[in-house]
A and B are shown apart, each in its own frame.
Chain A
Amino acid sequence: MIDATAGPAPAPRRPGTAEIAVGGIILLGWLVMALGADWIAPYDPNAIDLRGILGAPSPAHPFGTDQLGRDVLSRVLHGARIDIWMGLVGVLAPLAIGIAVGLVSGYFGGAVDMAMMRLVDITVAFPFFILVIAIVGVLGPGLMNYFIALALVAWVAYARLIRAEVLVLKRAEFVDAARTLGFPHRVILFRHVLPNALGPILIYAWTDALLVILAGASLGFLGLGAQPPTAEWGVMIADGQPYVIQAWWICFFPGLAAVTLGLGLILVSDGLARRHQVDQ
């Protein structure tokens, strides 16, 4: 019984931990600021003060004030809510659709797969952002319609990723083993295939969250996303654009917020990717 007791012990340190930790702290910080915006923000984000418009950063207004005298700091903090919410829903909705389609398509193959993949081909034939703008244009501006447009367009990336993983996994011996053990398809799909297919998709999802936030901010900038006076970073940058020469802070601070949030997301995604690589 030589080989029954010996064996490699669990690895003590896993790669990517530093990235995940730093990224996680940044994201956690933003989450706290977003959730606690009501208490942290020094002013009401929509309180107009026409006597203090375009005020430079000062002790009273650390990030300055905008063209309507609203406190930029308070608006950035409240904007975080909208933008994080956007990243969350904007990823989860397409993710759910993509997983369902990718699993079924990859595992069962055949005519279902053919139909699904042609639908994917048609969708990716259009530039992503143009298609989102077109759909929002038809449905009308607003956050809800942005989410609908995303769900209709962004699922294809997830469906393709999942399908590719499933195609490999369904040939794995442990899936054959599950079949010979008489497990139903549902169990094989959700217990044995899906958990092993999720790795690359979750890594992608973190990066995708950034894209969704930036796309949402861009829509806000174009006036198709969140509507004024809602404090949303894209809307704020759009509002500040005419004044960027006199009052750089109106655009700068929401931009900086988007960059740091994005950095956090990218770091976590990178860390997970490195960890996944080692696990393989």
Chain B
Amino acid sequence: MKPLVEIDSLAVDFTTPDGVVNAVRGVGFKVEPGEILGIVGESGSGKSVSCRALLGLLPRHARVGGRIVYDGRELSTLTPAELAAVRGRQVSMIFQNPSSHLDPLMTIGEQVAEPMKFHFGLDRRAARRRALELLEVVRIQDAGTRMNAYPHELSGGMKQRVLIACALACEPRLLLADEPTTALDVTVQAGILRLLRTLNRERGLSMILVSHDLGVVAEVCDRVVVMRGGEVVEQGTVTDVVRQPRNAYTRELIDSQPGRLEMSSGRHARPAPLLEVKGLRVRFARRGGTVAFGGDKTQGIDALADVSLDVHAGETFGIVGESGSGKSTLARAVLGLVDTSAGSIRYDGRALAGLDKSERARFRRDVQMVFQSPYDSLNPRMRVLDAIAEPIWRHRLADPGEAGERAAELMDMVELSPALARRKPRQLSGGQCQRVAIARALALSPRLLIADEVTSALDVTIQAQVLRLLARLKEMRDLTIIYISHDLAVVRRFCNRVAVLKQGRLMEVGYTRTVFESPSSEYTRELIASAPDLDALRGGAVPA
């Protein structure tokens, strides 16, 4: 069978003020009719650029070389009109952030109907009828009424479904999906991936799925292209690539998958509770209304409701949940960054509410946090070394000169080159920034370290490095770690015990093994089932 798309020695150059950047070099792959091709790679690998080159979606200063053949016709030989027909009707694309691709002032029904009026000349009523059918195809419940909703009334997953419906409107033969589930919760992601597979099976829709997540690719795709630094390093069927990777980088990528990480979760915890949370409730004033006057707390929403748990000294305690589960709020409540409405938090046997000034200072040294966004958690105007040294001399643990020396030692401990000491955060990579944040948190020799989604903004190989670093530091400095994450695979490898939160309520808490092998709540079961898993290859079937 003739391939639907054939890309050969594709090269994309960007002209920037600092010279020409080769974003992509010598890239070649094929998409057979009816197959789902995965392109996997980390940030800067050129996976999105390759995909966009096909649609002509690159910025004007990009130069594209090589051959792109669609359905037997080379795109560079087509007239602009023919090209527009291919790109408008035969190939559609969906994106990572559906919100920015939907018009906020148009109902979703109109948005899906619009391209059909334009391309097929359907009248308003026919287009609307067709739009309703499409919204049902993408499994929007109660599509008839939802058609009149505006994008802001829908959840992220629903918006992505609407965007898929828009993409299907012109009955394309090829769908390009660029990180379609990256911004979504794992249970929602599972639904979208299921939908993509169904569309592929039932309509014979070919797809290119671009993703940083090998697990997602393995669940959906037949074949996979692995990219790095603008080049294809390996391609083949998913089963072959995952089971017998030939390229060293592919192997590193696979070994970095959280499910594959070789990591001991550390010594068994001493059963003494270091942190006790009892009946904790955090209530936020409802948005809108009278927030300007301090908000009405009785009309608020509970970010956390009646949460009780203990964290033992020396353990790694995982807190898992989707967005809105209250997992970060819990961390912020422990640190006193948000006010609690009810319940108590005890640290080392003492209630936080009753600490006097010196005990409070002691607590501030003992409990530290590493935040989610590598760049946002560092003062952009402070040099790396100064940022790490600042807590040391401000707490009068050393004079500024000595604090600088200790900061240099800390940089060494988190495996940062001394050459970076005088850089500002902006001049570092995400992984490096996160190491700086860890070093700063360790500067006061804390006993409890709270890590809130510390690796979710990082590439998977960097994530593996940071996790190994945390595991090593935990042993070395006898830390207790609270690890907050949406990623079950990481928590499973990394934590001794785990708590599962949903919408501010504690679903269950227990030893990681028990929770994962015999979850006691329905929600935990769903969460575990939704997580993409490399070892549960569902793709791999060669297209018929």
Contacts and interface: CB of A to CB of B under 8 A. Distances in A.
Given A182-B361, A183-B394, A177 B369 contact: yes
B371 A177 contact: yes
Given A3-B465, A195-B381, A176 B337 contact: yes
B367 A196 contact: no
Contacts of B381: 195-196
Interface in B279-337: 292-294, 332, 335-337
A181 to B, nearest CB: 5
19 contacts: A1-B415, A2-B461, A2-B462, A4-B415, A4-B420, A5-B417, A7-B423, A9-B427, A173-B376, A176-B377, A177-B437, A179-B336, A180-B337, A180-B364, A180-B368, A181-B390, A181-B440, A181-B444, A279-B380
Query: Interface majority SS on A: helix, strand, loop or mixed?
Result: helix
A2 B465 contact: yes
A192 B381 CA distance: 8
A181 B368 contact: yes
Contact of B440 (A1, A2, A177, A187): A177
A127 interface: no
B449 to A, nearest CB: 11
B435 interface: yes
Given A3-B429, A176-B337, A180-B335, A187 B419 contact: no
Interface string A113-132: 01000000000000000000
A172 interface: yes
A173 B373 contact: yes
Contacts, number: 96
Interface string A172-213: 111011111111000100011001100000000000000000
Contacts of A3: 429, 431-432, 462, 465
Nearest to A172: B376
A10 interface: yes
Contacts of B429: 3, 6-8
Contacts of B371: 173, 176-177
B531 interface: no
B23 to A, nearest CB: 15
Interface residues of A, number: 32
A54 to B, nearest CB: 55
Given A176-B337, A177-B437, A180-B368, A7 B432 contact: yes
B376 A196 contact: no
Interface in B363-418: 364-365, 367-369, 371-373, 376-381, 390-391, 394-395, 415-417
A5 B465 CA distance: 14
Given A4-B435, A5-B417, A182-B361, A174 B427 contact: no
Contacts of B202: none
Contacts of B461: 2
Contact of B395 (A7, A12, A182): A182
Given A4-B432, A195-B381, A196-B381, A174 B376 contact: yes
Interface of A: 1-13, 110, 114, 172-174, 176-183, 187, 191-192, 195-196, 279
Contacts of B423: 7, 10
A172 B465 CA distance: 26
B18 interface: yes
Nearest to A179: B337
B432 A173 contact: no
Contacts of B379: 174, 178, 191-192, 195-196
A192 B379 CA distance: 7
Nearest to B444: A181
B229 to A, nearest CB: 11
B443 to A, nearest CB: 8
B354 interface: no
Nearest to A177: B377
A119 B379 CA distance: 32
B378 A174 contact: yes
Nearest to A3: B431
Given A7-B429, A174-B380, 5 more contacts: A3-B432, A8-B429, A10-B427, A180-B369, A196-B379
Contact of B417 (A4, A180, A182, A196): A4
Which 7 residue pairs across A and B have the least CB separation, nearest first?
Answer: A182-B364, A173-B377, A3-B431, A173-B371, A173-B376, A181-B391, A174-B379
